[in-house]
Amino acid sequence: MAFILWLIAAAIAIYGIIRIVGGDILIGIVLLVVACLVGPGGYSIFR
């Protein structure tokens, strides 16, 4: 389960970075925060 959450969080984070580079800074930051909340390390909403 932790590996699946890690993959989902990594995909969301990569998409967030792409959005930031593309000029959508607010959406990119929101996606990075969501990636931190989904990921198994640190704080996770799935605990």
Residue 2 has pLDDT above 90, yes or no: no
30 lies in a domain? yes
Amino acid at position 30, single letter: V
Write down the pLDDT at residue 32: 94
The answer as to whether 43 is a domain residue is no
Q: Give the residue numbers spanning the domain of 25.
A: 2-38
Residue 25 covered by a domain: yes
How far apart are alpha carbons 35 and 26 in whole angstroms?
14
| Domain presence at residue 20 | yes
Alpha carbons 25 and 19: distance in angstroms, whole number = 7
> Mind listing the pLDDT tens digit for each residue in 16-42?
999 999 999 999 999 999 998 888 776
Closest CA to 18 of 8, 29, 9: 29
- Of 11, 4, 3, 7, the residue nearest 32 (C-alpha): 11
In a domain, 32, yes or no: yes
Place of tokens 């959005």: 19
- Whether 44 maps to a domain, the answer reads no
